[in-house]
Structures are given as structure tokens and as C-alpha cells.
Amino acid sequence: MWKKALVATLAVASSTTSADFFDGNELVHRLNGGDANTSFSKGLAAGFIVGVYDTVGSKYCPPSNIYTGQLYLVVRKYLDANPEQLQSPASKLVEEAVAEAFPCDKPYK
């Protein structure tokens, strides 16, 4: 019995998985409100953007008083301008949007 459990565990552990929450297409879909055009879907997208920003924002030079709505617009503008990249991980696209909007000359520390 334990051999079957071990085989099952190894099969699950070795399966291919993705650490990405979703890609750019799904982020655009959520920004548009999802299938039901809901505030929940838009809020999920905004929360995702803020989460990525909180992780990578210190690498760049955003204004000290930046707010969620501004980040939302920056990312939306970037996604609209770069539709050929929407198959990329959404987290990568959010970071690229922040980097493009708020570049700085100081090296990342």
C-alpha cells in the first residue's frame, strides 16, 4: 500500500506546474471585468498588480505618493500598447510596465 502512495506522490511532485498566477491575456480579461464584468474580477486584477508592485517596485523610481489607480492605469496602458506580449506571465508584464513608467538611474540594491 505504501508503495502505491509513494508512486502517486512522486507522480504529482514531478508533474509540470507553473508558478505564474496567470498570463497577460487573463490579466486583460480580469481588467475588463471577466466573464461577468464584475467588480470582483477587476479587484482581483488590481490586487494582483499591487502585489507585483509591492514585490518589485523598489527596483524602480515611482513617485512616493503613487496610488493603486495610477498603477492600474500604467499597467493597462502597457498591456494595450504591447498585445504581442500577452502570452507572457502577467507578473513579468506588470514589472515591465512599472520599469517603463518609472525608470531611474540608481542601481538596484
- Give the tens place of pLDDT for each residue, 50-80: 999 999 888 899 888 999 999 999 999 999 9
Query: Model confidence over 12-52: pLDDT tens digits?
Result: 333 333 456 789 999 999 999 888 878 899 999 999 999 99
- Backbone φ and ψ for 22, nearest 5 degrees, come out as -165, 170
Show Cβ contacts of residue 26 under 8 Å, excluding neighbours closer than 6 positions: 90
Give tens-digit pLDDT for 5-23: 433 333 333 333 345 678 9
Q: How far apart are CA 74 and CA 49, in angstroms?
A: 10
Hey, what's the cell of 50? 499591487
Annotated domain spans of the chain: 20-101
Helices 24-31 & 68-81 angle (0-180, nearest 10):
120
20-101 is a CATH 3.40.50.300 domain: no
Would you call 40 exposed, middle or buried from its count of C-beta atoms within 10 A (0-12, 13-18, 19+)?
exposed
